């Protein structure tokens, strides 16, 4: 059993390190990076929506909670993130934090990604409890899943006003929630899978809210035809990346 715990721990550490893919941006000039940031924002929209509708929601519908309850939890997730953003706006306005230039979308993406990484940790932990083979296969699937998502999240953080180094650091801290997820999975044992079933649709609702309420309106600020076409292509690419993962998992 100790070996199982060790394998699971090493696996989530590797998954957490995947968040560092954003380091590629550190070698890019700030002006050049921000010039094409809208493409990565578009990629994030596609990846988040694709993850929600292609991975999380179907998984929730297949669970024992039933489609009606899962659908209700998706709405609950959307409302939770709506309330969170309201709170962040009130907080920023009340304390004049707007001068910092940080948009609440960045904080929302950190929260939603933290929840998602927490779920990934639980899934990896439960998988290793089944068998090391299943655990390794699940870890590979999660890593393939994280790469496009983390690139998109990194872009959203930059767009929200964070510096490159701070965005990278916060993205990494968010990824560490997967380690907490593994510990929770081992503490809960078989109940961990049930817990995951409940939280999956809530996370999906969070992804949908961030994509539709925060990111897509930002894309509409670009009026040039060429940039708009690139946005559409990037959104489709993000969705297709999530579709491709179906065949790799």
pLDDT, tens digit, 9 for 90 and up, residues 149-197? 677 777 778 778 887 778 888 888 888 888 888 888 888 766 666 766 7
Average pLDDT over residues 105-111: 79
Give the number of residues written for the chain.
Answer: 249
Split at pLDDT 50, 70, 90, the class of 134 is: low
Could you tell me if 191 and 50 are in contact, meaning their C-beta atoms sit under 8 angstroms apart?
A: no
pTM of the model: 0.68
Split at pLDDT 50, 70, 90, the class of 96 is: very low
pLDDT at 131 over 80: no
pLDDT at 112 over 70: yes
Q: What is the pLDDT of residue 27?
A: 54
User: Could you give the CA distance from residue 149 to residue 120 in angstroms, rounded to a whole number?
Assistant: 13
Segment 78-91, tens digit of pLDDT: 998 888 778 766 65
The single residue listed with the structure tokens 């997967």 is 178
User: Could you give the CA distance from residue 191 to residue 188 in angstroms, rounded to a whole number?
Assistant: 5
Segment 45-66, tens digit of pLDDT: 888 888 889 888 888 888 767 8
Look at residues 215, 219, 109, 84 and name the one whose alpha carbon lies nearest to residue 162.
109
Q: What is the pLDDT of residue 110?
A: 83
């Amino acid at each position: 059993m100790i070996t199982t715990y060790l394998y699971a721990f090493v696996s989530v550490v590797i998954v957490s390190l995947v968040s560092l893919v954003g380091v590629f941006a550190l070698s890019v000039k700030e002006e050049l990076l921000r010039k094409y940031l809208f493409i990565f924002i578009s990629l994030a929209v596609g990846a988040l929506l694709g993850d929600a509708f292609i991975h999380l929601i179907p998984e929730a519908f297949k669970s024992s909670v039933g489609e009606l309850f899962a659908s209700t939890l998706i709405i609950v997730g959307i409302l939770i993130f709506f309330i969170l953003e309201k709170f962040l706006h009130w907080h920023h306005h009340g304390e004049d934090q707007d001068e910092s230039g940080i948009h609440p979308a960045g904080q929302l993406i950190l929260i939603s990604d933290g929840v998602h990484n927490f779920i990934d940790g639980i899934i990896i932990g439960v998988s290793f409890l089944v068998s090391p083979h299943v655990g390794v296969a699940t870890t590979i699937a999660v890593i393939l899943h994280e790469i496009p998502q983390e690139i998109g999240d990194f872009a959203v953080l930059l767009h929200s006003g964070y510096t490159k180094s701070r965005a990278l650091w916060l993205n990494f801290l968010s990824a560490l929630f997967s380690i907490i997820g593994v510990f929770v999975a081992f503490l809960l044992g078989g109940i961990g899978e049930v817990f995951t079933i409940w939280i999956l649709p809530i996370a999906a609702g969070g992804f949908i809210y961030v994509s539709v309420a925060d990111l897509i309106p930002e894309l509409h600020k670009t009026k040039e035809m060429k940039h708009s076409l690139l946005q559409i292509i990037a959104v489709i690419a993000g969705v297709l990346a999530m579709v491709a993962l179906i065949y790799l998992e």
